[in-house]
Structure 1
Amino acid sequence: MNVLSLNIRGLGNSSKADWVRGLRIHHEVSFMMIQETQFVDLGSIDVGRFWGRGDFCFDWVASDGRSGGLLSLWDPKIFAKTDVTKLSNCLLVSGNIKGCDGANHMLNVYAPHNAVDKRFLWAEISNLIGGGDGLWTVAGDFNAVRRECERRNSFFNTSEANEFNDFIDNSNLHEFSLKGRRFTFVAGDKLSGIDRIFVNWNFFMKWPNAEYVALGRKMSDHSPLVLKTTSRNFGPKPFRFYNSWLRRDDFGDVVKNSICGGGFMGDPDCILMQKFKKLRVNISIWADQCKQKELGEKQLLEKERGELDDILEVRQLSEVEMWTLEEAKQCLWELESLHQQDLKQKSRC
C-alpha cells in the first residue's frame, strides 16, 4: 500500500485539491495523510476533490483556529478501518491492509512548535505505539530535525533534536533513505527536513526495499512525501508481433539474418532461446526504424500531395504531375492501411 504525506498549508485553495488528486493517481496512493488543514469544520470542503474517482473514506481532527488540523483519506478496498483515535496533534487510523496479515496503524502527526508541547506529544505517540502490535506508519510534520545538517540558514536546537531522536529510538521507529529532495520545507532562504515518514521494525522487515521519496513543492512550501511499498513494475513488456510486418519487404531479411548470423553456443534448447532473444531485439530495432522511416515518408507524401492540390486550384496538372499525385495518394493509402491493421490487431489483443 502506497502512502502519501503532505503539509498542505490550508485546504481552501481548489488548485491544491487538483494537485493532491494528481499526486494520488500518479503514485497509486491508497492512504493519504494531510497536515495543517487550517479548518475547524470540514463541512464546507469537498473532500472528494482531493481523492478523485473511486470510493474513499476519511477522518479528521479539527484545527485550533487557523493552526494545525489533520485529515486522513484511504481506499476502503485496500485498507479496512477497525478503529480511530483522535488527539489534538495526531490522528490514528487502525485497520487491515488487503493481503497483509495483522493490524496496521496509520498515524498522522502535526507537531506543535513549542518544545514542551512537543515533549508531551512524543510521550503520547510512544504510548500509542507501545499499546498496539502490528505494522506502524507514522507520518507528518514533526517540526523537529534529527541532525544539524537538516537545517540551513535556521536555528538548530540540540536539546530538541536529542529528545526527538530519543523518541524515535524508544518507539522503535525507522526511516527509509530519503530520495528526491534533501529538505522538505522551505521558507525564504530557510530550509529544514521536518516532514518525515517513520515505520516500526515489523514494517521495516516486511518491506525492506520500500521506496521513500520527497517530491517537488508546488502548491505548498512543504514537499509531499511518498512511501511506496507496492511495485507496479511487472518486468519488460511482452513482445507483440504485428501481422502488418509480414507486408514489409525487408522483414524476411531481418528474421533470416538474426537466425543465421551465428555466434550461438550451448545445448540445442539454449541455442533456440538465444536465437529467439536475438530475433526479438533485432525486430524491435527494425520496427522502431521502420516507424520513423514511414513517418518521414508520410510527411513528405502529404506535403507533395498538398502542393499538387494547390496547383490544381489554378491550372490543369501535366501528365507527370497527375501520375505523381496518384502515386502519392496510393502510397499514403498503403501506409494508412498498415496503421489501421495494427490498430485493429491491438483492439483484439
Structure 2
Amino acid sequence: MNPPPSHRFCKFFLMCTISLNIRGIGQTGKISWLKRICYKEKPSILGLQETKCGQTRDNTIESFWGNSDFKFVQKDSDGASGGILTIWDTNIFSFNYAIEGEFFLAICGTWAGHDSEIAFINVYGPHSHSKKLRLWSELSSLTNSLNIPHIVFGDFNEVRNKTERMNTEYNQNWADNFNNFINNSGLIDLPLGGKRFTRICEKTMKFSKLDRFLISDGIFTIWPNTSSKTLDRDLSDHCPIILRNNLLDSGPKPIRVFDTWLDLKDADTIIEKAWLIPISGNRPDCIFRNKLKNVKLELKKHSNQLDNLDSQIRDHLTECNNWEQTAETRPLSETEKQKWIDEKMHHIVKEKKENKHA
C-alpha cells in the first residue's frame, strides 16, 4: 500500500509559522514533541531557538518534520547555549539566500502563488543589556534595508511593559529600548492569543512574555487574515507560538487512521499482513473497502496500549496547562504549586515511556 500524500500539499498557499525556544533539541522527548506539533499544525516555516547543538542532521529533522520536503539553515550554539534553526517546506517556500547575525538568522525567498520576495527572521535574544542594544541596532538596519515584506519572530528575551512580567524583575529602560526598536523599524507587534505569558517557570512562579511575532505592513497585503497565538507548553519553559493565515480550510482528513499509523513502531508490517488477509467477493470496490477495514482493525489491536499512554500524556499536559492559566490570574497556594509540579513530573515520566515504544 502506498503511503499517504504529504500532509502539507492540501494547504499549498497557506502560511503557518511556528516559533519555539526548544531549550535543547537533543534532550529526552524533544523530538517526539516536535513531531506532534508538526503533524498537528503542519507548519510551512519552523523556527527553533536555543537548540544547544552544533550541526543538526537531515535525518533528525525528517524524524519530526514528517517527510523529506524540507530544507534548513542553522546557526550553531556557543558551547552548550544558544543555537538557531529555521526549517521550511520546499513545496511552499523557495529559498534564495540567508543572512546571519550575531543573534538572528534570516531566510529570504518567494512563496508559492506570490511573486514578491519575503523574509523570515528567527531571533534568539541575549540576556545582557549591551548585547540587546546591539541586536536592536542590527535588526533595525536589516529590516530597513530589506524593502520586502518580513516577519521577525522568536525569543527576544525582553518585554514591552510591566504587564508582560509577573514575579520577575522589570527594567523600564530596557523595555523602552525594545519599544523604540519596534517603532523605528515600522514593525507591528501582532497580538498573541491564548496565554498571557510565553515563558513560565512553575518552580519559581516567574512569568514573562518573551516570544512574539513582529511583522511589516507588507505581510497583510499577502496574508490579510494573519493571526497568532500560543500553543500548549510541554517540555520547555517556553510555549510554542504560531502565526497563520486562515483563508482556506482543507477540510477533514479523508482517512483519520493515519494518525495512529505514524505512532506505531511496526506499522508497515502490520499493514502488510492485514492487507494480505483473503477477502471474498467479486466487486473490486468492495474488496478494497474490506481490505481497508482489516487494516484498520489490526492497527487498532496493536495501538491500544500506545493510545492509552497517549491519553495519559494528554491528560497530564492538560492539567499542567490548567494550573499554568490559573497561576496567570492569581497566586497559587503551596498545595496547588505542588500539584502543578506533580502533574509535570507524571507527564515527563509518561513521555519517557512513550519514547521507548517509538
Question: Under a length normalisation based on structure 2, what TM-score does the superposition of the two structures give?
Answer: 0.64
* 1:135 partnered with 2:149: yes
Distance 2:47 2:251 in 1: 30
Shift of 1:15: 1.8
Q: Secondary structure at the match of 2:44?
A: strand
Aligned to 1:6: 20
Does the CA-based 8 Å contact 1:3-1:29 persist in structure 2? yes
Is this contact kept in 2: 1:81–1:93, CA < 8 A? yes
Aligned residue number for residue 200 of structure 2: 186
Q: CA deviation at 1:13?
A: 2.3
Q: How big is the shift at 1:181? A: 1.0
In structure 2, the partner of 1:203 is: 219
Distance 1:189 1:89 in 2: 28
Q: What CA deviation, in whole Å up to 9, does each residue of 1:47-76 have, x standing for no partner?
A: 222312241101100111112110000011
Count of residue pairs brought into register by the alignment? 243
- 1:48 and 2:28 matched: no
Instruction: Work out the CA distance in 1 between the residues paired with 2:107 and 2:194.
Output: 28
Aligned counterpart, 1:283: none
Higher RCO, 1 or 2 (CA under 8 Å, sep at least 6)? 2
Q: In 2, Cα distance between the equivalents of 1:68 and 1:163?
A: 23
Report the alpha carbon displacement of residue 227 of structure 1 after superposing the two structures with TM. Answer: 0.3
Task: State how far apart, in whole Å, the 1-side matches of 2:246 and 2:97 are.
Answer: 24
Q: In the alignment, is the contact (CA less than 8 A) between 1:61 and 1:88 conserved in 2?
A: no
* 2:38 is the counterpart of 1:37: no
The equivalent of 2:178 in structure 1 is: 164
Partner of 1:229: 245
Aligned residue for 1:233, secondary structure, equals coil
TM-score by length of 1: 0.65
The change in CA–CA distance for 1:47 and 1:233 in structure 2 (over 3 A counts) is: closer
Match of 1:217 among 223, 233, 236: 233
The alpha carbon displacement at 1:138 in A equals 0.6
Does the Cα contact within 8 Å between 2:108 and 2:120 map onto a contact in 1?
Answer: yes
What letter corresponds to residue 118 of structure 1 in structure 2? K
| Cα deviation digits, residues 12-64 of structure 1 (max 9, x gap) | 12521121122122112100000001113335982222312241101100111
Q: CA deviation at 1:89?
A: 0.9
Contact 2:199 2:237 in 1 (8 A): yes
From 28, 33, 43, give the equivalent of 2:42: 28
Q: 1:291-348: per-residue Cα shift (whole Å, max 9, x none)?
A: xxxxxxxxxxxxxxxxxxxxxxxxxxxxxxxxxxxxxxxxxxxxxxxxx8xx79x99x
Q: Which residue of 1 aligns with 2:190?
A: 176
1:260-296 deviations in Å (ceiling 9; x for gaps): xxxxxxxxxxxxxxxxxxxxxxxxxxxxxxxxxxxxx
Q: Give the structure 1 partner of residue 276 of structure 2.
A: none
Query: 5 Å matches for 1:1-349?
Result: 1-42=15-56, 46-187=60-201, 188-233=204-249
Q: 1:45 to 1:113 in 2, by over 3 A?
A: farther
> Gapped runs of 5+ residues in structure 1?
238-339
Distance in 2, matches of 1:59 and 1:27, equals 21
Q: Secondary structure at the match of 1:124?
A: helix
Secondary structure of 1:131's aligned partner? helix
Distance 1:5 1:103, change over 3 A: same
User: 2:209 is aligned with what amino acid?
Assistant: G
Letter of the aligned partner of 2:97 in structure 1? Answer: D
CA contact (8 A) 1:4 1:24 kept: no
What is the CA RMSD across the aligned residues, in angstroms?
2.4
Deviation at 1:99, TM superposition (A): 0.7
Q: Aligned equivalents of 2:163 and 2:153: distance in 1?
A: 21
* Equivalence for 1:243: none
Mapped partners of 1:97, 1:236: distance in 2: 25
